[in-house]
Amino acid sequence: MSGAEFVPLSLTPLLIGIFAAVACALPGNFLLLRRQALIGDAISHVVLPGIVVAFLLTGAIAAGPMLLGAAGAAVTAVILIEAVRRLGRIEPGAAMGVIFTTMFAGCVLLLEQTDTSTVHLDVEHALYGNLESLIWLDATGWSSLWDLEALRYLPPELPRMALTLLGVAAFIALFWRALKISTFDEGFARTLGIRTDLLGLALVIMAAIAAVAAFDAVGSIIVIAMFICPPAAARMMTDRLETQIGWSVVFATLSAVLGYVLAGYGPLWLGAADAVSAAGMIATVSGVILAMAARFGPCRRRAGAPAGV
């Protein structure tokens, strides 16, 4: 494949996919170990209502208000879940189920009631994303990477996603020791003077930021898959947190690249004419990786558990 074809059509979606996958997989490692894996699921269900409300208030598809709306919805959902859990003394899973389905239902109703057909804002788009359409038409080949004029017309999702990834990575690097201690032994972390409640909240907020940014570019299904599958697969490979994070980055990147290539070129190899959903394919590949790790990973069993239980 020549650079003239690859750079404008595939390079940017590929990079955005990789950045989104890694940005979600990094906090996913900690969420998985803290048994909060489904937070990604809840966030991605409530992000759409936030975006819809932001759109109805401002009347325009603009990145700023939409990200604010999505973040606002995520925070609202966290507060509501906590309120239902405490006021009603309901277990967290059920409280989560009550809130995110209701917010999602309200959003679907809003979408049906208002005329949003003129803009590209619908449930399907929110689920699948539009990774394939994030192309860089001004590029002519590899040399465009040094061409300032062409670089100005990069899809804005690419720098945004790269920034998000940097932010998430910086957060984890900065709070590495505190995060690690409080994830494995919260009581011990508290005796060391670490504010575990604030740290837990910060982690959820970082996850929400990653989810919102990725959601804008690649749709919610990748977000949920990347929060859980690469970290879960990495968990089967090692007992060390550092190594686990390394593996999860490798798996996330692999899913993004393989998924994108399979979605774009797989049908052509099979003789079909059109590509299939890249977002769905990335999630599928991450599932295949998880299945392989769960079957053959060296550390797949619970420590101390007898075989077959």
Partner 1 sequence: MAAGWRPRRSTSFRVCRSELVLLDALLLQLGYNATLVSIGAALLGGAAGISGTFLFLRKRALVSDAVSHATLPGVGIAFLVMVFLGGDGRNLAGLLIGSALSAGVGLLCMNWLTRNTRLAEDAAIGAVLSVFFGFGIVLLTVIQTLGVGRQAGLEGFLLGSTAGMLLSDALIIAGGSAMALLVILLMRRPMMLVAFDPEYAAARGLPVHRIDMLMMGLVMAVTVVGLKIVGLILIVALLIIPAVTARFWTERSDRVVVIAGVSGAASAYVGAAISASAPNLPTGPIIVLVSFVLFVLSLLFAPNRGVLAAVLRHQRFQRRVHLRQGLLALAQRQPIYEPLTLRLLRRAGLVRADGVATEKGRARAAKALRDEKRWELVRSDLAHEAAAALYDGLREIETVLTPDQISEIDRCIGGPQEVSA
Q: Which is nearer to partner 1, 91 or 242 (CB)?
A: 91
Q: How far is the CB of 292 from partner 1 (least distance, A)?
A: 12
Query: What is the nearest approach in angstroms of partner 1 to the Cβ of residue 84?
Result: 7
Least CB distance from residue 27 to partner 1, whole Å? 14
Rounded to a whole number of angstroms, the minimum distance from the CB of residue 161 to partner 1 is 19
Minimum CB distance to partner 1, residue 158 (Å): 22
In the complex, minimum distance from the CB of residue 237 to partner 1, in angstroms, rounded to a whole number: 11
Single-letter residue type at 249:
V
Residue placing its CB nearer to partner 1 in the complex, 97 or 167: 97
- Give the nearer residue to partner 1 in terms of CB position, either 168 or 282: 282
142 versus 296: smaller Cβ distance to partner 1: 296
When the beta carbons of 227 and 247 are compared against partner 1, the nearer one is 227
Pick between residue 146 and residue 269 the one whose CB is nearest to partner 1. 269
User: CA distances (Å), 242 to each of 29, 32, 177, 183, 297, in order?
Assistant: 10, 14, 11, 13, 17
